[in-house]
Amino acid sequence: MATAGKPLSRQALELRDRMATAAARLTSATAALHYASRVASAQHIQHRGGSRPWLLRSVIPVAIVAEVLTAFVAMEDLVSSFALAAGLAIMAALVGAGTAVMIANQRLNGLPVPRAARILEGIFVTVLTVLRFESLDVQSGTVAASLGGAALAALISAVALLAVEEVVVETETFTVFAGRLRLWFRRRQCAQAAARLARLQSRTEAAGDQFHQHFLGFLVKAEGLAVEEARRRAQALREALFTWPGGGR
């Protein structure tokens, strides 16, 4: 213990402490993983919509912006100021998106969509289309160009409203997304803790084998013990030094 065994014994004490800490972290990470799994499972059961990724909801702001731009075309020549036209365009886009979201909520609740809501959507798109035609007619001076521009804007508006509705219905909520992300993180954390503990166990095994050989040689050569007795004592000391408090090496 005063020569080769001394640093090995110090290493054994250090490894015991580090393994105990690593085992505690693994236990904590495993408990957190089980909790995150239960929460994610409960959220998935309560989820009413589809299972498409929540990030697809980034389409909604794009659809609203498209609606704002096409609505601005309808407003810019009908009011006296740019600010008023922009404000009316934003309000119109938000009303359209809000209507689409309310319809989507009806579908998520398993309720039939009221016919009045669909009629309101149609009236919304029709009114904006007429206003766009009037505005484009003032700017272009040709009926064909005005009709084409108004029809294109109407198509963009209808597709934008339909996209908002379908995305809300078919995608998971942010809560479900956050639960899935938390579960992935806990799994990664648990795997890292298990890998760290495995590395420490491997180092402990190697250090224990080295210590066992040194001490066995000391007992046979210096103490003159029989090989079997020396091996038994060396193994007992190895178990005492290289077994961490959790009960394993």
The domain tally of the chain equals 2
User: Alpha-carbon distance 185 to 173, whole Å?
Assistant: 18
Per-residue pLDDT reduced to its tens digit, 120-148: 888 888 888 888 887 777 776 677 877 88
Residue 216 lies inside a defined structural domain of this protein: yes
| Of 3, 26, 20, 4, residue with least CA distance to 204 | 20
Greater pLDDT, 52 or 231: 52
Residues 160 and 138 in one domain: yes
Domain boundary at 172, 207, 231, which? 172
Residues 136 and 77 in one domain: yes
pLDDT, position 244: 58
Q: Are 2 and 212 contacting, i.e. CB atoms less than 8 angstroms apart? A: no
Per-residue pLDDT reduced to its tens digit, 45-92: 888 878 888 888 898 999 899 888 888 877 777 777 788 888 888 888
Residues 39 and 60 in one domain: no
Range of the domain at 9: 5-46+190-242
